[in-house]
Structure 1
Amino acid sequence: MFARPNAQHCQVAYVTNDIEAASDAFQKEYDAPGFYQFTNVGTGADAGGPQLKIGLARVGGIEIELIEPIGDTAPLFKDVLPDGPGLAIRFHHVAIRIDGPLANWDAHLASIDFDRHPIVFEGALGDQLRFFYTDERATLGHYVEHVWLAPELYANMLAATPTFPPAAVT
C-alpha cells in the first residue's frame, strides 16, 4: 500500500483537544515553524461529516497536521482523545499523497485490497480533493490516509503552510 506509483509519504498527523495550545507546544517544544490553521466547516466537505479545525506545518518536506474535532461530529478523530481537562495530543495517522492527474488517484484506489485494508472514512471536494482512511490499527497501530489534491490546490496549500527550512527566494 505504501509502495505504489505516484505515491509518497507526506504527513504525520495528531489529534488534539485544543489546536491553539497544541500549535504552541509544537512550536515551543519541537521547533515547528508555525501552523496554517483553518476549518472544514462551510466548505462543502463537511456536509453531514466530521467538522474539524486543522493546522498544518511543513518540516523537512513532511507535513505535520494537527486536528481538533468540533463537537461530537468526528468520532474517528475524537475517540482517541482522553476525557477530562488538560491538553491532549495523540498520534492518529500518516498520510500518503498521490501526485499527478486524477487518473493516478483512480489507479491508486484500484490497487488497494479493501478486505485487508478497510476504509473507515472517505470524502471528496469536487474535482479538487479525494481522500480515504484505511484502518491499519491491528498491524501498524494507526490509520493511513490516502489523499489526492488537484495540482493548483496543492500549490495553494504549500504556499500557505509555514515551512522549515524556508523556501528559497528566487
Structure 2
Amino acid sequence: MFARPNSQHSQVAYVTNDLIAAMAALKAAYDTPGFFEMSNIQPGEDPAGKPVLKIALAVVGGVEIELIEPVGDTAPLFKDFLPDDDGLAIRFHHVATRIEGPLANWDAHVVSLDLTRHPVVFEGAIGDMLRYIYTDERATLGHYVEHVWMSSDLLSQLRALTPSYPPVKD
C-alpha cells in the first residue's frame, strides 16, 4: 500500500468542528507556525452535490499538517469522525502519500493498487493539476489513506503559500 514507486508519505490530517479554534490550539500546544487557509470550493463555483470543506495547512518538520472542517452535512466522510457533543473536537482522519513526477506516475500508482482490498471512497481532480483518491483502510489501520498527485506548478504554488517550520531554505 505505502511501498510504491514515486510515492512518499507527505501529510497527517485531522478533522475539526472549528477550524479557527483548532489552528489556535495547534499553535499554542505544538508551536505550529501558522496556517494557509483555503476552501475546496472556489469563488463562484456551485457547491451543489459536493462536499464543502474549510482547510488549513502547515508544514512541520517536513510533514504537512492538514486541518479540515466539514461544512454542514455536505461531507459525511469527514464529519462522521467528529463527536456529536459540544466543544472543540480535533480527530485524526487520514495520512496522505504524494505521488511524485509526471501524471503517468499517478496512473501507474492507481493501477498498482488492489482496489478490491483498498476501496476508493472519495476521489477528485482539477484538470491536469491535481488527482486524489481516498482509500478506506479503517478495517486494518483505523483511518483513510489519501493518495494525491499534483503538477509541479501546483505543488510549488502550495509550498510557497504554506507556512513551514523550520523555514524551508532555498
Letter in 1 for 2:102: P
With over 3 angstroms needed to count, the CA separation of the structure-2 counterparts of 1:46 and 1:97, relative to structure 1, is farther
User: TM-score normalized by structure 1?
Assistant: 0.96
How big is the alpha-carbon RMSD for the aligned residues of Structure 1 and Structure 2? 1.4
Q: Tell me how far apart the structure 1 counterparts of residues 32 and 164 of structure 2 sit (CA, whole Å).
A: 8
With over 3 angstroms needed to count, the CA separation of the structure-2 counterparts of 1:46 and 1:12, relative to structure 1, is farther
- Report 1:74-93 matches (<5 A): 74-93=75-94
User: 1:83 deviation in Å?
Assistant: 1.1
Q: Secondary structure at the match of 1:80?
A: coil
User: TM-score normalized by structure 2?
Assistant: 0.96
Letter in 1 for 2:19: I
Letter in 2 for 1:34: G
* Farther-moved stretch of structure 1 (104-113 vs 33-42): 33-42
- Report 1:44-55 matches (<5 A): 48-55=49-56
CA contact (8 A) 1:45 1:123 kept: no
Partner of 1:13: 13
2:40 aligned with 1:40: yes
Q: Tell me how far apart the structure 1 counterparts of residues 156 and 46 of structure 2 sit (CA, whole Å).
A: 19
CA contact (8 A) 1:45 1:125 kept: no
Q: Tell me how far apart the structure 2 counterparts of residues 111 and 81 of structure 1 sit (CA, whole Å).
A: 32
Q: Tell me how far apart the structure 1 counterparts of residues 96 and 153 of structure 2 sit (CA, whole Å).
A: 19
Q: Secondary structure at the match of 1:73?
A: coil
CA contact (8 A) 1:36 1:161 kept: yes
- How many residue pairs match? The answer is 169
